[in-house]
Amino acid sequence: MFNIAKYDEAGSLDEALAFLSGHPAAKVIAGGTDVLIKMQNGKMGEAELFSIRGLAELTGIKRTADGAIFLGPLTTFAQIAGDPLLQKAIPVLIQAAVSMGGPQIRNIATIGGNICNGAVSADSAPTLLALNAELRLQSAGGERKVPLREFYLGPGKVDLRPGELLIGIIVRPQDYLGYHGHYIKFAMRKAMDIATLGVSVLCRVEAGGVLSGVRIALGVAAPTPVRCPEAEAFAEGKTGSDETLEEIGKLAVRSAKARTSWRASKEYREHLVAELVPRALKEAMRTAGGEEHV
Amino acid sequence: MSEVKSMPEAEEMPEAERMSEAERMSEVKRMSDKRMVPEKVLRQISLTVNGKALTLHVDIRESLLEVLRERLGYTGVKKGCGVGECGACTVLIDGTPIDSCIYLAVWADGKEIRTVEGLAVNGKLSPVQEAFVEEGAIQCGFCTPGLVLSTTAMVENGKEYSREEIKRELSGHFCRCTGYQNILKAAERAVHEAGHRCAHCKHEQEGEKG
């Protein structure tokens, strides 16, 4: 038995927003794979749960008229993994989705929950950060848009105000069209594990193997998922030679603020950044067909 | 709530199934009284378990695992880690494998649930169960119901699976006995015998199977 004091369900988005404005203490639950586990572990006191899992309007993946990809926050990881549109448009997001948990968890865990939970190890986070994803947040008082990059405030802390719900995740066309990406989850097991480190990269490869628009994001390398601006700036316009990639990896370490945890030491994590960023870029370049230029 | 009690074994389970709704309701009330649960924490849900339509009251605090095991007697649903890591509590919800330990019972309203007890027809094991027996994929048996159900989901959805994909689909189950080799063989056998003859799969031709 979970320590649940009260349980309510939303029938519609409007109803949900109205309820949340009147019950700011309510804990929103969707897939439950974070909330219920925290409760099971005793990390959460008696909770008033508010389920939004029935809100069909917050589920699904579509391309909007302007070419942007819109992810409903209640879309499960399994739905993302099997989505033909994403497979064509943003395959790196599928890579990230498939790396999360195991099948039973992916069948129920939602992408919105993964973001709002604010976990530094969230498998979707580095890739969505590299995609410059934007979040649509709505409360009874109105709507605002927040870049994912600004949404993470600290470990387990996000810029979600009382009464607010994440209602959409948007990837603009200029952020994915023509880009190739790769996600590496470094963990002790191939499934059912939390990342020791996550690296997601996106880049364009111009004629002659020249890199442009390189975006590098790391998970579990700092108190929040982070981008690597120094490494990204250095990479711009460079030919993706082994030496250049190695240098990009070294620069990426500067953006990391790794710490020692029981999973890995700070030094080990930094080593992983320096090693995995070039590997991920190499793989992204390979999928771009740029390998022969290197 | 999870203290070890003497649970009815699978063979006795039909008795729980035969429980009339009135009896079940009084059972719910009795349990509620015992726990001093206010009526407001009870919700009525209607669901199908192994083809049987049921309407019952569940506590908002209960997991589906607890309702299936303790209320309805489906002890083939195992409680392992309790936090969605081991897969022992896997059931099929509308055909999809889900960890029932982190699934609230109230969410099962309107759903079709299948447990390992629902697989055999008239005492005859399902082809997936047969494959597990044939391949010696069972040792202590604790992980078996979950693995059989995840394999059943693969067999029933009609997709083709490579060996790597089968491994991935079973990766949410922990087995501490077998080393997985025979489980994988059983799952492959079941998936392929179900009529999936994928071009890239040469098990039959190579005589890998008995």
Distance CA A265, CA A262 (A): 7
> Among residues 105-144 of chain A, which lie with CB inside 8 Å of chain B?
105, 107-108
> Terminus-to-terminus CA distance in chain A, angstroms?
58
**Whole-number pLDDT of residue A273:** 98
- Partners of residue B98 on adjacent β-strands: B91
Instruction: Write down the pLDDT at residue B122.
Output: 95
For the cut 60, the answer to whether the pLDDT of residue B54 exceeds it is yes
Q: List CB contacts of A8: < 8 A, sequence separation 6 or more.
A: A19, A23, A26, A48, A49, A50, A51
What pLDDT is stored for residue A268 in this prediction? 97
Domains along chain B with CATH numbers: 10-116 (3.10.20.30), 127-206 (1.10.150.120)
The confidence score (pLDDT) of residue A41 equals 83
Which residue intervals of chain B are DSSP H helices? Answer: 13-18, 21-34, 64-66, 127-134, 144-156, 163-169, 181-193, 203-206
User: Looking at residue B40, what is its pLDDT?
Assistant: 80
The structure tokens 């989505």 sit at A83
| Chain B residues whose C-beta sits inside 8 Å of any chain A C-beta | 1, 41, 43, 59-63, 66, 82-85, 87, 90, 96-99, 101-104, 106-107, 150, 168-174
**Mean pLDDT computed over B65-71:** 97
Extract the tokens encoding A247: 């240098």
Question: Would you say B47 and B65 are in contact if contact means Cβ atoms under 8 Å apart?
Answer: no
pTM given for the model = 0.89
CATH no. for A176-289: 3.30.390.50
| pLDDT attached to residue A287 | 92
pLDDT at B18: 46
pLDDT digits (tens, 9 = 90+) for B114-172: 999 999 999 999 999 999 999 999 999 999 999 999 999 999 998 999 999 999 999 99
DSSP secondary structure code for residue B71 in this structure:
I
To the nearest whole Å, the CA of A88 is away from the closest chain B CA by: 20
Percent of chain B with pLDDT over 90: 71
Residues contacting residue B176 through CB under 8 Å, at least 6 positions apart? B140, B143
**Do residues A253 and A273 lie in contact, with contact meaning Cβ atoms separated by under 8 Å?**
yes
Q: Taking CB atoms and an 8 Å cutoff, what residues of chain A touch B82?
A: 40
Nearest CA in chain B to A47: B61
The domains of chain A are located at 4-51, 56-174, 176-289
CA distance A10 to chain B (A): 13
- Give the closest of A4, A37, A104 to B61, CB-based: A4
SS (H, E, C) chain A: CCCEEEEEECCCHHHHHHHHHHCCCCEEECCCCCHHHHHHCCCCCCEEEEECCCCHHHCCEEECCCCCEEECCCCEHHHHHCCHHHHHHCHHHHHHHHCCCCHHHHCCCEHHHHHHCCCCCCCCHHHHHHCCCEEEEEECCEEEEEEHHHHEEECCEECCCCCCEEEEEEECHHHHCCCEEEEEEECCCCCCCCCCEEEEEEEEEEHHHEEEEEEEEEECCCCCCEECHHHHHHHCCCECCHHHHHHHHHHHHHHCCCCCCCCCCHHHHHHHHHHHHHHHHHHHHHHCCCHHHC
- CB neighbours (10 Å) of residue B197? 9
pLDDT in tens, chain A (294 residues): 999 999 999 999 999 999 999 998 999 999 999 999 999 888 888 899 999 999 999 999 999 999 999 999 999 999 999 999 999 999 999 999 999 999 999 999 999 999 999 999 999 999 999 999 999 999 999 999 999 999 999 999 999 999 999 999 999 999 999 999 999 999 999 898 999 999 999 999 998 899 999 999 999 999 999 999 999 999 999 999 999 999 999 999 999 999 999 999 999 999 999 999 999 999 999 999 844 443
**In this structure, which amino acid lies at residue B54?**
L
**What is the C-alpha separation between B125 and B116, in angstroms, rounded?**
10
Q: Tell me: the pLDDT tens digits for B13-48?
A: 444 444 555 555 555 555 554 554 556 899 999 999
Instruction: List, for residues B72-90, the tens digit of each pLDDT value.
Output: 999 999 999 999 999 999 9
CATH class of A4-51: alpha beta
Q: How far apart are CA A41 and CA A30, in angstroms?
A: 18
Question: pLDDT tens for residues B3-15?
Answer: 444 434 333 444 4
Residue keyed to tokens 């994803």: A133
The Cα of B134 is separated from the nearest Cα of chain A by a number of Å equal to 25
Provide the ipTM.
Answer: 0.93
Residue whose pair of structure tokens reads 């083809």 in the numeric block: B51
- How much is the pLDDT for B189? 97
Q: What CATH number is given for A56-174 in this structure?
A: 3.30.465.10
